[in-house]
Amino acid sequence: MDDLDQVQLTAYADALGSTSIRSMLTARDLLDRRDRVTVAACLLFDKRPQREFPHAVVRILRYGDIEQGLGSRMTLEDGADIRREGSLPQQIHEAAEEIERLMPKWQQLGPDGLFSAVPRIPRDAWLEGLVNAVVHRSYSLMGDHIRVEIFPNRIQISSPGRFPGVVDPARPLDIERYARNPRIARVCSDLGITRELGEGIRRMFDEMRRRGLADPVYTQLSSSVRLVLLASDALPAEILKRLTPSAKAVLDVLRVGGQPMGTGQIIELAGISRMTATRALAHLRDEGIVSWQGLSPKDPRATWTLR
């Protein structure tokens, strides 16, 4: 108990209307049966839980190009590799401030007839992604942290831990409410950080669509989940309805890549067969969504690009 931050504990107790910090922790199952502080309590209220959980960190990086690059071609901008530690509520608050500061903006004409700087990706969308990553990541996975990577054309949020087995990442709107860390989720709900209503992903989609941007793209990797929010225009609903699942998968690959790709690259990244990819690309070309560039039908250097 002495390791926990009394200021944060008192603020939480006040938010709940509790007169006793110990009873408040017990009511939220943040003390075990032997009256010991749980992992969730440490992550939520320790001034620096990284002493026990060095991987419980949010790292924010901004790149000057649409690709990271390697070695001498690394595009990471100077001073744009930032780590935010502390308790989970502190991480969310401080990381959000840094992301807002680093987020690329464009000049947009407002209703008052004046131009103002507008973030390329709406704040409510990336903030929802950040909060989900912090609240629902796997804290049992050692050696990795949450990464928020900001590119000129997108923001990527990678979180350790996979989706539950019954979830299809290709259908994120079908995901019902799921809390990997229910005690953490409950406290964050009490603090107004989350709402525990299972509508976070839907709200993220709504924010992107409201701005006319492409839908969020989830990808499940070997030990993590990656969310990509793209600063690119969404397709009309009537065209989306005509696209097959494989055509949508190919479209997501080209959107995330942000550059011309060969058929082989698309097949590998989309995880589909050559025949399926060929049909999907032909479908997208007929819809006027992609174009093909090559010297001949069998040109090995031919590429596909978004129009």
Q: What is the pLDDT of residues 250-289, one digit of tens each?
A: 888 887 777 889 999 999 888 889 999 999 999 999 999 9
26 inside domain = yes
Residue 125: which H helix or E strand, with range?
helix 123-136
Of 174, 202, 230, the domain-final residue = 230
Closest residue by Cα to residue 272 from 258, 252, 292: 252
Distance CA(94)–CA(102), nearest Å, equals 13
pLDDT for position 198: 56
The tokens of 281 are what?
């690309």
pLDDT for position 230: 92
Q: What is the mean pLDDT of residues 235-257?
A: 83
Q: What is the mean pLDDT of residues 142-166?
A: 88
For residues 241 and 202, membership in a common domain is answered with no
For residues 132 and 264, membership in a common domain is answered with no
134 inside domain = yes
Does residue 172 surpass a pLDDT of 80?
no
pTM of the model: 0.77
For residues 145 and 46, membership in a common domain is answered with yes
Q: What is the pLDDT of residues 46-81, one digit of tens each?
A: 989 999 999 999 999 999 998 888 887 889 999 899
- CATH number at 95 reads 3.30.565.60
For residues 185 and 242, membership in a common domain is answered with no
27 inside domain = yes
Domain span holding position 74: 6-230
Q: Which stretches within 84-122 are classed as H helix?
A: 88-102
Q: What is the mean pLDDT of the chain?
A: 87
1 inside domain = no
The sign of the CA dihedral 162, 165, 166, 171 is: positive
